[in-house]
C-alpha cells in the first residue's frame, strides 16, 4: 500500500515523502471535518485504531528502507547514540511542556 522508496537518492526527499504521508491524511481530514465529523465522533475507537496503524505502517516503511539501504553500516554507533540522546531530550521537553501547559 505504501510506495517503494528504495533508491530514492536523497534523504531530504525521503523525509519529505514521510511528512507527506503523515500530514496529507490530517489535512484531508480537517477539510472534510464538516462532512464526516459526526461519523468520526461516533466511531472514535475505529478511527483511532486506523490512525495508529497507518502511522505504524509509515514508520515500518521508513525503517525497512533504511535497513535495505544499509543505514546501519553507514552510520557510526556514536551518531546513533547521540540521536537517541537527542530524541530523549526532545521527548522529555515535549512531555514536560504539555504537562505544564495542561495544568
Instruction: Report the pLDDT value the prediction gives residue 90, as an integer from 0 to 100.
Output: 96
Mean pLDDT of 14-24: 80
CB neighbours of residue 35 within 10 Å: 9
Q: Is the pLDDT of residue 5 over 50?
A: no
Instruction: Enter the pTM of the model.
Output: 0.56
Residues 80 and 59 in one domain: no
Q: How many domains does the chain have?
A: 2
Geometric angle at alpha carbon 11, from 80 and 14, rounded to 5°: 110
Mean pLDDT of 71-78: 85
Residues 65 and 95 in one domain: no
> Which parts of 1-103 fold into alpha helices (H)?
11-31, 33-42, 44-68, 71-74, 77-102
Residues 2 and 51 in one domain: yes
Query: What residues have CB less than 8 Å from 15, skipping those under 6 apart?
Result: none
Q: Which structural domain range is residue 98 located in?
A: 75-103
Q: Is the pLDDT of residue 89 over 50?
A: yes
Residues 31 and 16 in one domain: yes
Instruction: Report the pLDDT value the prediction gives residue 97, as an integer from 0 to 100.
Output: 96
- Top pLDDT among 44 and 17 is at 44
Amino acid at each position: 500500500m505504501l510506495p517503494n522508496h528504495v533508491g530514492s537518492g536523497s534523504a531530504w526527499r525521503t523525509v519529505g515523502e514521510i511528512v507527506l504521508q503523515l500530514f496529507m491524511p490530517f489535512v484531508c481530514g480537517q477539510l472534510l471535518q464538516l462532512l464526516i465529523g459526526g461519523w468520526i465522533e461516533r466511531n472514535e475507537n475505529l478511527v483511532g485504531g486506523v490512525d495508529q496503524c497507518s502511522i505504524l505502517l509509515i514508520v515500518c516503511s521508513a525503517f525497512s528502507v533504511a535497513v535495505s539501504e544499509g543505514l546501519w553500516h553507514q552510520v557510526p554507533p556514536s551518531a546513533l547514540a547521540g540521536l537517541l540522546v537527542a530524541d530523549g531530550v526532545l521527548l522529555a521537553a515535549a512531555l514536560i511542556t504539555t504537562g505544564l501547559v495542561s495544568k
